[in-house]
Amino acid sequence: SANGDWTALAKKAGVEEDELTRFLEYAAMFLGNNGNYKSFGDSKFIPRCSEKTVAALASTSPEANKFYEATKGGIFSSSNPAMMHLGYPDDGHMTTYYPESSHITKDEIKAVSDWMESKGLLPENNRLRKTSEGNYEILIASAVREIPSEGGDIGKQTEFTVDDGPLKSKTIKLVYGDYAEEMKNITAFIDGAAENAENDTQKKMHEAYSKSFESGSLEAFKDSQRYWIKDKGPMVESNIGFIETYRDPAGIRGEWEGFASMVNLERTRAFGELVKNAPKLIPLLPWGSEFEKDKFLSPDFTSLEVLTFAGSGIPAGINIPNYDDIRQTEGFKNVSLGNVLSAKAPDEKIPFIRDEDLEVYKKQRDASFEVQVGLHELTGHGCGKLLQETSPGTYNFDKENPPVSPVDNKPITTWYKPGQTWGSVFGSIAASYEECRAELVAMHLSCEFPVLKIFGFGDGSEDINGEAGDVLFASYLSMARAGLASLEMWDPKSQKWGQAHSQARFSILKCFLEAEDDFCKLDYKQDDLSDLTIKLDRSKILTAGRDAVAKYLQKLHIYKSTADVKTGTDFYVHMTTVDTEFWGKKVRDIVLKNKQPRKVFVQANTSLDEASGKVLIKHYEASLTGMIESWVERNL
């Protein structure tokens, strides 16, 4: 009923201008996060406007009013603290990965996951429902509503009785057709993309996508990713599917996302040079060759200008596919999202940086972030070997003379068993743990001045006081500041982290603070920490700073590589635990007082002029109404 004229609608509804603005802020935030929980933080946000305002606006349209009446409780409710966060149902949190299953427990979710692993059924495109009889239904996203005639990924059977373990005698049923209408529409568009593919590899990729989204097969999806990594250097880059698992409290089920982007050739040249040098850089990491891939598979690494990123949040860089069996033997791709990296709000405040460091920080933070993202994606997520029993009795390492761990100088005693993956073994902690490991790899290798030269800083010789040193200093300072700011994402009531990257960065700040020789300190004189700044000694980055990073990184890597889930989990929990009095109260309070509004991105739309065959692009104003208009014209 607004047709884009929000002022007229407010007048019709009897709503004041400032209340209208608050409503539009909520609407833009909702669209930017694909829902009313933050994509970065997993906590609920509620409108600043009153319920009366939203009711008045909704009443101007019968259809809008119908939807508002159905959802208003969920929009404004904040009386249940647990429901203000995403998480496990038995902790009282919100999730849509376990629909109609408020009575399902963490142990049951784990037991079903273990059963799926034993059968070879991958979890990324499914949800889990517990029935009133106490049995379980695995809901598989597919256009088809019945199992395909040729069978699914584990055969033609759809109903199983569990033989042993905690679910003994329970029934597990595979139910096809979750999001059937959406998957049907997506499949039709993917089929159209296959007909217009630029080359045969792209065509096969789209055909594999189509099979996966039509039938629910994740084996077909893995095939699509195999073709995707073989499609080297396309000028238009895209990927789509159930990719990242951050929002599932169990850390294994994926969130739907897709992007379309164009390659920035100038910036891609630097990343290409980084790829060329990666085989020389990876041996500099603090572990031996036994814990590294047998061969570094040189990936594509491109800098992209994002046209559209459909998902709950837009990352700064991507390293996919996430399937370790593909990554270890076939390869992967890295992308840096250039126009996301450089996006800044006007007049953005920069708390916690000392006055004497502010000029260098402001000048070099974008450059340091690009270096960090490049190393994080390529050498961080791209390095390392999982020591596995790949099939019964077959190992990808010498079991009779097992590798010696550099952490304790003893032969390893744990490894991944057949069917196990990194995600299935480390579970809900895996996402944050891996982000931390990748960040630390980047911090470690950014100390290599030849790397900084690749990005155009310095001549490759060590010079902590030159331009390359400025970039390195800005990188370490940015990480320390991010660690402080991350406390926004820690919830004092549940004492849990709501965001994987934030949890990781907080632990890296702790690593800096625990380094020798006063490498990094929190500086303040006021009791309320209102003057809090980070004092990081630039002259010690290459000594105390790098040493602390190397020790932390080595442990995380070896525990991951050897499937040492007990030691790895205990260690990471220790590094990410927030002392409630100092960090959780005093520091967090000042972080919240200095909190900056989180960006949401207004994205363009494209359309095809059927007569001329030309693709038209429409940009929108970077404003609340521009955000809403862009969504309306997307016709989703």
> Where do we find the tokens 């700044």?
533
Q: What is the distance between the alpha carbons of residues 266 and 289, in angstroms, rounded to a whole number?
A: 34
Tokens of 419: 């069917």
Structure tokens at 86: 């995403």
> For helices 200-215 and 180-195, what crossing angle results, to 10°?
160
User: Any bridge partners for residue 172, and if so which?
Assistant: 136, 160
**HEC sequence for 311-354:** CCCCCCEEEECCCHHHHHHCCCEEEEEHHHHCCCCCCCCCCCEC
Strands 333-337 and 317-320, bridge-based pairing: antiparallel
Beta strands 236-244 and 255-263 are: antiparallel
Tell whether residue 137 is among the known ligand binding residues: no
Q: Which of the residues 25, 124, 255, 377 is marked catalytic?
A: 377
CB 160 within 8 A of CB 168: no
Whether 501 has a binding-site annotation, put simply, is no
* 8 A C-beta contact, residue 161 and residue 175: no
Can you read off the two tokens belonging to residue 293? Answer: 């891939």
Question: Is residue 616 within a helix (H) or strand (E), and if so which, with residue range?
Answer: strand 615-618
Burial of 147 (C-beta count, 10 Å sphere; 0-12/13-18/19+): buried
What is the distance, to the nearest Å, from the Cα of residue 587 to the centroid of all Cα atoms in its chain? 26
Q: Is 255 a catalytic residue?
A: no
Rounded distance between C-alpha atoms, residue 586 and residue 529, angstroms: 7
Of 41, 605, 626, the closest CA to residue 313 belongs to 41
Tokens of 492: 């004092």
Pairing of strands 159-161, 136-141: unpaired
- As given in the structure block, the two tokens for residue 511 are 């690593």
Q: What is the dihedral of CA 8, 10, 13, 17, to 10 degrees?
A: -140
Phi-psi region of 91 (alpha: psi -120 to 50; beta: other; left: phi over 0): alpha
Q: What's the token pair of residue 431?
A: 């996402």
CA distance 260 to 396: 37
Q: How many residues does the chain have?
A: 636
Contact criterion met (CB below 8 Å) for 365 and 265: no
Strands (E), 51-178: 126-130, 136-141, 159-161, 171-178
Q: Which amino acid would we find at residue 603? A: Q
> What is the C-alpha separation between 608 and 81, in angstroms, rounded?
47
Bridge-based pairing of strands 159-161 and 236-244 is: unpaired
Distance separating alpha carbons of residues 290 and 385, to the nearest angstrom: 8
Classify residue 388 by its DSSP letter. B
- Picking from 113, 24, 121, 33, the residue whose alpha carbon sits closest to that of residue 625 is 24
Annotated binding site: 376, 381, 435
Binding residues for Zn(2+): 376, 381, 435
Catalytically active residues are 377
